[in-house]
Structure 1
Amino acid sequence: MDDSRDGLRADTLVATVRGVLPSLTPAAQTVARLILEDPATVARSTITELSAASGTSEATIVRTARLLGFAGYPQLRLALAAAAAQPDRLVPGDLAPDDPLSEVIMKVARAESEAINDTVAQLTSERLGLVVDAITGARRVDVYGVGASGLVANDMAQKLMRIGMSSHAFSDAHLALTSAVLLRAGDVAIGISTSGETPDVLEPLERAREAGATAVAITNNPRSTMAARADHVLISAGRETEFRPGALASRISQLVVVDCVFVGVAQRVYDSSQEALRRTRSAVAEYIKRR
């Protein structure tokens, strides 16, 4: 299978299925959950066997494979077989209530490392470059996010501000909308949402785009409403478990995307960014010294 033309990359298949799961039909979700729970077994199953195991029709399985970007079920099985050759990436190990802290440390570190690897595997230089270009030439950058994504939005706005860019983060929908409608062509609005369906992020991002700004989505779900409405989409990846809800699982992967965007922008405006960093560090250092 040519990963660039047929379906999803084997090394990020399970992570991507997890991201698009909320956007699938109920029947397709049943098949997708089997892929997430035991991808190796699905890879070994014929379409008849998977139909019996999932309680869905063979036609539903074919439609699910196509929804995931494959020509049919045989191509999906091939990708799952390739992914199964990397078992450590398919079964990161859920945290259990009786895990000793030594095991907690290892499992958390492993899950976060995999989230970073899965995000990096889906973050192409072409997509990143388009976003970097837009931000570099922007008069103003708005960043929208709520909950844990709001913390990431604040981090992004602060980073851009430190290199002299006019950037503001909004977690309140009213304030976000107020700012969004005042943007104009050449400005950039960035929405951060794991699901890509958060109303408090969707609405201001859409209004910003209507005002002429370039809309950027950072989300786990490339089939989400936010991704569909954005000019550019950067995919993050995070695995939710009982002890790692979506807020925890997504934060690390979102921060990876934000850091890559920031470094790319700082490179483009290297001289001015270095001067801005020097001045901001100096101001903080002088303040601390006087206290």
Structure 2
Amino acid sequence: MLTRIHNRLGQFSKTEEKIARYILNHAELIPNMTTKELAEKAEVSEASVIRFSKSIGIGSFKAFKIALAQELAVGDEEYISDFSIVHKKDSPYDLFQKVVHVNKGAIELLASSLDKKELERAVNVLKEARRVLFFGVGGSAIAAVDSLYKFTKLGFQTEFNHDFHYMLSLITHLNEKDVFVAISMSGKTKDVMDLVQFAKKKGATVIAITNISKSPLYKQADIRLATPTVEKDFRSGSITSRMTQLTVIDTLYISLFNTIGKHVLEQYQEAREEVVKLRR
């Protein structure tokens, strides 16, 4: 996106060039701006900002902001998570700032990739579930563990285990009243896909938390909670993808607590009292 704008600098009108130069010099600010704010900063009209978005092949300013935010998130993510990081001279605090920036950008992109209706379907299905199984491998396993903890607090019959064969033994007991939540950034992990296919065979509803890039898991799932594509497969660690996955889990947890929370408040309080007693 930024390269496209830079390469066309000599082709823009004077008004478009003012907008383009402001964007190139303040790219990290644009995703959080309104058309009015950008117009004021670039000293042009709002209509000119809208026309600029269309002139570079983007249908609207909103779509332009999403595309730019994704470009910035991926670019910074590569900088801090691929193996070229060993050649950088940034201080720990510089890297902290970059991590904050890319995580914030990824979560903002999640607001665009997550479909409202799919989220509502997921909450409704989970609310009525007899049993909920979570599964993820590698970095995605962190989100599965977090899910296990949160859903157990809500009183759900919940399971997660790193062992593939153990999960297979659990899935044999599933039926149409149960839910299998598959978590995978790439949506291509063989263990995840094998368990998904088995869960579907048993009649369970499959909810996928995976990238919006139409992965195999995205296509197999009954309900798709799509996360933005903010990482490449070759990286030194799951950073932004983990953040988006945890945000989806938190949303499901809070939504369910909002719906059924009054039925478990007594248990919440009891657990809280026991935690306080165990403090040293």
Q: TM-score when scaled to structure 2?
A: 0.71
Match of residue 91 from structure 1? 72
Letter of the 1:209 partner, please give it. Answer: K
Match of residue 260 from structure 1? 251
1:166-205 equivalent positions in 2, closer than 5 A:
166-205=157-196
- Distance in 1 between the 2:133 and 2:261 partners? 22
Checking the alignment, whether the CA contact within 8 Å between 1:240 and 1:246 is kept in structure 2 is no
SS of the residue aligned with 2:58?
helix
Letter of the 1:90 partner, please give it. Answer: E
- Distance in 1 between the 2:105 and 2:145 partners? 24
- Distance in 1 between the 2:4 and 2:163 partners? 40
1:81 positional shift: 7.8
Distance change in 2, residues 1:43/1:208 (3 Å): farther
Letter of the 1:77 partner, please give it. Answer: G
* Residue 77 (structure 1) aligned to one of 24, 41, 57: 57
Match of residue 129 from structure 1? 120
Distance change in 2, residues 1:209/1:85 (3 Å): closer
Match of residue 240 from structure 2? 249
- State the structure with more CA Rg: 2
- Distance in 1 between the 2:8 and 2:197 partners? 40
Checking the alignment, whether the CA contact within 8 Å between 2:153 and 2:268 is kept in structure 1 is yes
Distance change in 2, residues 1:245/1:83 (3 Å): farther
Checking the alignment, whether the CA contact within 8 Å between 2:119 and 2:225 is kept in structure 1 is yes
- Distance in 1 between the 2:109 and 2:239 partners? 16
Match of residue 149 from structure 1? 140
- Distance in 1 between the 2:183 and 2:98 partners? 26
Match of residue 223 from structure 2? 232
Deviations 1:268-289 (A, max 9, x none): 1121132332222223333x15
1:112-127 equivalent positions in 2, closer than 5 A:
112-127=103-118
Letter of the 2:249 partner, please give it. Answer: V
Deviations 1:78-115 (A, max 9, x none): 25986556756532433451123332122110000011
Checking the alignment, whether the CA contact within 8 Å between 1:139 and 1:186 is kept in structure 2 is yes
Distance change in 2, residues 1:245/1:276 (3 Å): farther
Sequence identity percentage = 27
Checking the alignment, whether the CA contact within 8 Å between 2:188 and 2:215 is kept in structure 1 is yes
Match of residue 154 from structure 2? 163
Checking the alignment, whether the CA contact within 8 Å between 2:186 and 2:233 is kept in structure 1 is no
1:6-155 equivalent positions in 2, closer than 5 A:
38=3, 40=5, 77-79=57-59, 87=68, 90-92=71-73, 93=76, 94-95=79-80, 97-155=88-146
How many residue pairs get aligned? The number is 226
Distance change in 2, residues 1:246/1:42 (3 Å): farther
Match of residue 208 from structure 2? 217
Checking the alignment, whether the CA contact within 8 Å between 1:39 and 1:80 is kept in structure 2 is no
- Distance in 1 between the 2:215 and 2:189 partners? 10
Moved more, 210-219 or 163-172: 163-172
- Distance in 1 between the 2:111 and 2:89 partners? 32
Deviations 1:22-66 (A, max 9, x none): xxxxxxxxxxxxx7x94646999xxxxxxxxxxxxxxxxxxxxxx
RMSD: 3.1
Distance change in 2, residues 1:154/1:43 (3 Å): farther
- Distance in 2 between the 1:142 and 1:225 partners? 20
Distance change in 2, residues 1:104/1:223 (3 Å): same
- Distance in 2 between the 1:181 and 1:40 partners? 55
- Distance in 2 between the 1:233 and 1:216 partners? 6
SS of the residue aligned with 1:128?
helix
- Distance in 2 between the 1:260 and 1:85 partners? 24
1:229 positional shift: 1.0
Structure 2 runs not aligned, ≥5 long: 10-53
